[in-house]
Amino acid sequence: MTLLSRFGRFWWDFVVGDDWLVAVLVVIAIGATAALATTSVAAWWLLPLAVPLVLWLSLRRAIRST
């Protein structure tokens, strides 16, 4: 493994961690919040609601893999 790929791997593990799905869903949820914020509808509630949903999906994946 080259130094560059090890460096990239380290930061991937450090930030994204064990489940990449969490990172993908968080980015989608933030994008949806930003889109909603451009309308006249309140957007603050969307991200808190996404938290238990993302956690539940990620926990199911972790349990299935054990």
Partner 1 sequence: MNTGDTFLFLSAFLASGVEFVEALTIVLAAGLARGWRSSLAGLGAATLVLAVVAAVLGPALTKIPLNGLRLVVGALLLIFGLQWLRKAILRASGYKALHDEDAIFAQELAEARGAEHVERAGVDWYGFTLAFKGVLLEGLEVVFIVLTFGSAQGSIPLAAAGAAAALLLVAGVGVAVRAPLARVPENAMKFAVGLMLTTFGVFWSVEGAGADWPGSDAAILGVLGFVGLSSFVLVRLLRRERRTQLRAAEARA
- Which residue, 4 or 14, is less far from partner 1 as judged by CB? 14
Nearest-approach distance from CB 13 to partner 1, in angstroms: 10
Under the rule (CB under 8 A), what is the footprint of partner 1? 14-19, 22-23, 26-27, 30, 33-34, 36-38, 42-44, 47-48, 51-52, 54-56, 58-59, 62-63, 66
Eight-state DSSP code of residue 41: S
DSSP, residue by residue, 11-29: HHHHHTTT-HHHHHHHHHH
CA distances from residue 52 to 7, 9, 21, 24, 64 in whole angstroms, order as listed: 32, 28, 14, 15, 18
Nearest-approach distance from CB 26 to partner 1, in angstroms: 5
